[in-house]
Amino acid sequence: MFLEGFNAARDFGRLHDIASVLIRYGFGDVVRRLGMSSILEKAGKVLHWKDAEQFAHMEPPQRICRALEDLGPSFVKLGQILATRVDLFAPEWVDEFEKLQDQVPPRSFDELRAQLEEDLGRPPEEVFDNLDTEALAAASIAQVHRARLGDGTEVILKIRYPGIRPVVEADLRLLTRFAELAEQEMSELKRFHPQELVRQFSRSLRRELDLASESRSAERFAKNFSDDPYIIIPKVYWQWTCERLNVQEYIKGIPGRNLAALETAGFDRKRLARRGAEAVLKMVVSDGFFHADPHPGNVYYLPDNRIAFVDFGMVGRLSEKRRYQVVDLLAGLVEQHAAKVTEVLLEWAGETQLDEEALTADIDAFIDQYHSVPLKQLYLSAILTDLTRLLRDHTLSLPPDLALLIKAFVTLEGLGQQLDPDFVMVEVAEPFLTRALLARYTPAALAKRGWRSFATLIDVVSDLPKDLNRLLNIARRGALQVHVDVTRLKQFGDQLDRAASRVTVGNVTAALIIGSSIVMTIEGGPTLLGLPLFGLLGFIGAVIGGIWLLISIWRSGRKR
């Protein structure tokens, strides 16, 4: 089963490791149902099923996260992506996924030197002064070292580990196959959309492997905040930056986790909380390009109450249409406008089958619980958490970009409240949303959208004669075909075809039994084992037909 559509024999070793870890944490049934155990046994691997007993006392979220940690960097990052899907996983699962730390022991600088010299084109000591061979920080994909340029500017070198891409690609191949099998063989996992989750994860991880892509994101943020002196983005030194190396300005400041140092240094924590929130709201509402992981480790506080954002490996993108939807949703939540919230959620649901009346009633009740609540007591993180629970109850999932956005808002409000216990995200968001709604209907914005629609209409009209001519030519050649794809009708036809085949085989089997019985009573003719040969052959054919019928019926029952 597992090897169907999968021919990478070189991944058998990794497959064995994955299966062994899953079994150790009590997921042996998953291994069996995915067909992994049988293929590994054929490959000569031995699995120790008894090891799972010591973890039986753990709750499923804990066991899953421990397994992801043991499986290595790719799977830890998968857990971090799952932590953003608050629309799919209950809070106890998200809490466990958030505990997954992307921290690993640093590698020796000697292991990195050859690759670094290849990327720089010369020994690193000829490019940088005071290159610190001790790592400043280390993660699963790269580690960071401090250095100084010839002019005295302090920089950091983010160096990707040599040989990591083939390992990651092997894990992604296996994960893709796991997701396909999970949707086919484990119906209880379909609501989590495993294939879509793996696609989202693959895009994110491949983007993170490209350190030049991270640098381009940093420059885009720097351009968006070029007019704001209080938001700092590290400068990128492109002459040394490439896919495997990222050279950026070193940020000297107080890490976001060191709140005690802020008091000592005399920072205005209320102002920092507001400026951070306004910066992320600008990213989302105005720019459509936001830092998807604004936790304290990625934030530094600088003199004059400035804020520096670092680590742009995980970013979110929102189209103009999506930004309009997000503004409508947030405005509906803040204004307690149930109809507006329902309209946006139904648009996101697309063609998903759902009970629209039940969803509308639940949203009305959800909005009503915040009726007359003072603005200072409205917490956006709690509202969004309740909203995602409602989505899970209706088996709805958000597009990946919106799942990242909700997670970013929840993280941001938590960071703001650490700085200022009286911080209320809704208070900061309300004027942003009002300005965004008004900006949508300014003469310039209306003229821009009108011109786009007019240009699209002109393109359609101008291409109409050409399209009609092509259609007529196809019709003249007799190549015009109309396809009607009715999935349910096709399934019904397949069922009728199988039923007709069984009836036919059943009739032939019955005829063989009756005919053979008659032949058995007639004397003369060839014999085998003292029985009439043709009568015996008829009974054998009837047995074969009966066995085929039983197997066909059994298989049909399993599929249902």
pLDDT tens digit sequence for 385-425: 777 778 777 777 777 667 777 778 778 888 888 888 888 88
Q: Is 162 exposed, middle or buried (0-12, 13-18, 19+ CB in 10 A)?
A: middle
CA nearest to 234, candidates 300, 179, 295: 300
Residue 518 belongs to a domain: yes
- Report yes or no: 156 and 135 within 8 Å, Cβ to Cβ: no
- Asked if 36 and 57 sit in the same domain, the reply is yes
Instruction: Band the pLDDT of 4: cuts 50, 70, 90.
Output: very low
pTM of the model: 0.67
- Asked if 226 and 285 sit in the same domain, the reply is no
Q: Choose one of 380, 406, 440: the last residue of a domain.
A: 440
- Asked if 496 and 406 sit in the same domain, the reply is no
- Asked if 284 and 354 sit in the same domain, the reply is yes
Residue 454 belongs to a domain: no
Residue 1 belongs to a domain: no
* Residues whose CB is less than 8 angstroms from the CB of residue 244 and which lie 6 or more positions away in sequence, other chains included: 115, 119, 159, 160, 211
pLDDT at 406 (0 to 100): 78
Residue 203, domain CATH: 3.30.200
| Segments forming the whole domain that contains residue 228 | 105-138+141-173+196-250
What is the signed CA dihedral for 108, 114, 118, 121, rounded to 10 degrees?
A: 90
Q: Choose one of 440, 470, 499: the last residue of a domain.
A: 440
Residue 458 belongs to a domain: no
List the end-to-end C-alpha distance of the chain, in Å, as a whole number. 18
The Cα 237–Cα 292 span in angstroms is: 23
Q: Is 466 exposed, middle or buried (0-12, 13-18, 19+ CB in 10 A)?
A: exposed
Residue 424 belongs to a domain: yes
- Asked if 191 and 278 sit in the same domain, the reply is no
- Asked if 328 and 267 sit in the same domain, the reply is yes
Which residue would you say has higher pLDDT here, 142 or 502? Answer: 142
Instruction: Band the pLDDT of 359: cuts 50, 70, 90.
Output: confident
Which residue would you say has higher pLDDT here, 226 or 496? Answer: 226
The active-site residue, picked from 87, 119, 171, 293, is 293
- Asked if 318 and 419 sit in the same domain, the reply is yes
- Asked if 342 and 398 sit in the same domain, the reply is yes
Cα→Cα distances 115→163, 248, 286, Å: 10, 18, 40
- Asked if 428 and 303 sit in the same domain, the reply is yes
Residue 476 belongs to a domain: no
The Cα 403–Cα 399 span in angstroms is: 6
- Asked if 310 and 233 sit in the same domain, the reply is no
Token couple for 131: 């290159």
Q: Find which of 46-60, 403-417, 510-524 is predicted with most confidence, using mean pLDDT.
A: 403-417
Strand-pair partners of 527 = 532
The Cα 417–Cα 428 span in angstroms is: 13
> Would the pLDDT of 375 be above 60?
no
Q: Choose one of 380, 414, 440: the last residue of a domain.
A: 440
Count up the domains in the chain and report the number: 4
Residue 93 belongs to a domain: yes
CA nearest to 418, candidates 253, 233, 258, 251: 258
- Report yes or no: 333 and 341 within 8 Å, Cβ to Cβ: yes
Instruction: Give tens-digit pLDDT for 19-30.
Output: 777 776 666 666
Mean pLDDT value across the chain: 77
Residue 312 belongs to a domain: yes
Give the position of tokens 């054919």.
541
- Asked if 64 and 146 sit in the same domain, the reply is no
- Whether 119 sits among the annotated catalytic residues: the reply is no
Which residue would you say has higher pLDDT here, 346 or 240? Answer: 240
Which residue would you say has higher pLDDT here, 430 or 165? Answer: 165
- Asked if 191 and 53 sit in the same domain, the reply is yes
Instruction: Give tens-digit pLDDT for 304-341.
Output: 999 999 988 888 888 888 888 878 877 777 777 777 88
Q: Find which of 101-110, 158-167, 464-473 is predicted with most confidence, using mean pLDDT.
A: 158-167
